[in-house]
Chains A and B, each alone.
Chain A
């Protein structure tokens, strides 16, 4: 049973990480949105699997919420935003596709080194997935700093949140439910506020390219 559990955990975590890599490899804003959507759905499925194998039934709620908020609501809002502002390509990221993929690979290797002490400490069947969660954390940070459209930066941020949710699920079968709810609410509010500011940026600057945000000098 534990063997199967552990395989599911690794497979699920790899799927979650892979979605982030796919986003780096394709160009359109639509691709970023659908990558995030699939990432959230895979993460929700993995959470449900951990609920089943780990006998932690609160996690079913978390999985359901994850699908509702991150799998459905946020991707829809993002799509509407992309249509409204008429931007559908991450034209020129600061780092080109090939280099981005190489860097992601290196970041994941780094994550394996960084996660070693965590893995040795844990006896949970899910521990093999922990480096992948840390890897996703690094890759999302890279997405945020290397993309030039504000909307792709937001998606990077949402992926960073998924990375931490993945880490929480793998390491401790999730944080307590009340906290999980609070975090969800915060993520949703944070996203909504980011959306407002994105509209503000678009209205004032007529673009979502963060290159134009250079009025304030240090």
Chain B
């Protein structure tokens, strides 16, 4: 039954990838099959969520290879939702502005594998196979960054590939060090080092070595999470990639990397003095990322780079929140979820704006509310949400995050982050206002077209508002389970 659920979750993405690779993805009947598959995936993700609230993590058959607990369910759910919407709005679909069959096929083939790799990363119960899956995300997404080959996108994909691969290689070195610690101390040679086993034996492992491993892991997965100073590839790759890919990279790939960091933090925290160490390191790197992200927001001229730097800022905030004790972890995860919704929405809309205006410059886009009323309004919604304004979910999660920071005694770090968030707010809002109003440039057509494509984005926007007004029982319960599992 549970194995079946995992199949239902990931199977449709695999199927779409195969169909696209075979070159039959453009047929009408295949389109219906893929659409049905997407519904099944989302359904499975919701089922997973419900089971995870119920408590016991389940380990389906296949020799304990997979394990799904509340944390896996949360990130998997985000991946499936954002992945489904992004794949549905990929190149060649209405409103995407590109209609090249080869590009469409390539995007569907690699994009679906990209989603699969992310799902594998959060469900596999093996620290090294998780690494393999995360490395696979780099490979598949780097291929898609130069989908519409231009000098800038080729350059961006090279930086992404090189920096991403080197970073992730360091994470593997960290994994090897932790494995070395485990084998040397316990004397067992496991074929699969899973999370429960690792957490069970953590208290007796050598704490010094585990801390060293954690530094490597944080640098490695932090590179993927866009934490400064390893973030330099991110603004390039996120801004040059096709919009639906940016939506997935920024919305959920970042969450997958944070997932890996959180899992390892939970292990190191169980060693003597481990929690104090991981908290300090996370706080430092998180605060630095918020600093870089917020300051860069002020002077950016491209709206896609604005969104990318906003990811650096939010990733830093999530990282800081993880250091603020249980309440902070709760806030961080809620923030991760809200960010996935808001950022993917904004990036998908930025693709529509680019298709209409033909410019990635803030200065090239004027009068958005008049030219594209629905897109403009939704884009404003997404960016306002990213600024942390009420009534959107990010306001609540940022509020909880900062409160956790103050109550856990990290007063000045939290204060500085609050000021920086304010600077980011000013940066984003001034750019947004310039885009929304003013005279539409000559030669840009007015009126919304292919409005159907906006439907899933409207759903995301509504979800953001709901999360901003109430904390649904299901969300609170799931996050509660995760925080519980961190210390167990």
Contact = CB atoms under 8 A, between A and B. Distances in A.
Nearest to B127: A179
A118 to B, nearest CB: 7
B177 interface: yes
Contacts, number: 132
B166 interface: yes
A160 B164 CA distance: 13
Contacts of B136: 186, 189
B430 interface: no
Contact of A144 (B162, B192, B296): B162
B158 A122 contact: no
Contacts of B150: 204
| Interface bracket on A | 35 or more
Contacts of B125: none
A167 B135 contact: no
Given A176-B191, A189-B139, A204 B151 contact: yes
B429 interface: no
A161 B166 CA distance: 9
Given A167-B176, A179-B132, A216 B240 contact: yes
A121 interface: yes
B146 to A, nearest CB: 6
A189 B165 CA distance: 11
Given A137-B173, A194-B161, A218-B235, A117 B154 contact: no
Contact of B132 (A182, A196, A200, A205): A182
B102 to A, nearest CB: 15
A154 B135 CA distance: 16
A59 to B, nearest CB: 12
A123 B183 CA distance: 11
Interface in B173-214: 173, 176-177, 179-181, 183-185, 189-192, 206, 208-209, 212
A157 interface: yes
B162 A201 contact: no
* Nearest 8 pairs of A and B residues by beta carbon: A182-B132, A179-B128, A171-B180, A213-B155, A176-B191, A216-B236, A186-B135, A172-B183
Given A160-B166, A186-B132, A205-B151, 4 more contacts: A164-B172, A172-B176, A186-B136, A216-B235
13 contacts: A121-B184, A163-B173, A168-B176, A176-B189, A186-B132, A196-B143, A197-B142, A197-B146, A197-B158, A201-B154, A204-B149, A204-B150, A215-B151
